[in-house]
Amino acid sequence: MHRNPSRPLSPHLTIWRWGPHMFVSIANRVTGAGLATVGAAALVWWLAAAATGADAYATFVSWATSWIGIAIGVGLTWAFFFHLLAGIRHLVMDIGAGFELSVNKFWANMTILGSVVLTALFWFLILGVK
């Protein structure tokens, strides 16, 4: 395809100064894909184990309650809360609000902080840490 030399080139990602708003936008897509793939795999494994019998379910529970299972659970929980908050942020932006740079960066930072706080609170309640 021929490029018109009188038109400027589109800026590349290396030109832009990265900020939290750019991270949240990209991470929103990544967490959505991660939730769809890893979350679906965990759900299918759980359902198959429950349908197969007590031994298969015990194997699933032993993996899910091991340190790696809890780490995956914490990651999925963070991805869920992050995707939820980023989706709300994008919904607000879709109605035309929050495009001012300072407001956009503030809510991007609140999305990151909120997802970490909600994940910690969720696991605090689940594990019954006192």
Q: What is the pLDDT at residue 10?
A: 67
The average confidence (pLDDT) of the chain is 91
**Cβ–Cβ under 8 Å, residues 18 and 80:** no
Q: What is the pLDDT at residue 11?
A: 67
| Cα angle for residues 19, 21, 24 (degrees, 5° grid) | 115
Residues 6+ apart with CB under 8 A from 21: 104, 105, 108
- pLDDT tens per residue, range 83-129: 999 999 999 999 999 889 899 999 999 999 999 999 999 999 988 87
- Domains of the chain, CATH where assigned: 20-127 (1.20.1300.10)
pLDDT-derived band at 6, boundaries 50, 70, 90: confident
Q: Which positions make up the binding site?
A: 83
| Cα angle for residues 81, 104, 89 (degrees, 5° grid) | 35
Separation of alpha carbons 22 and 106, rounded Å: 12
The amino acid present at 62, given as its one-letter code, is S
Q: Which positions make up the binding site for heme?
A: 83
Separation of alpha carbons 42 and 50, rounded Å: 12
Per-residue buried b or exposed e for 10-47, using 16+ beta carbons within 10 Å of the residue's own CB: eeeeeeeeeebbeebeebbeebeebbeeeeeebeeeee
**Cβ–Cβ under 8 Å, residues 94 and 5:** no
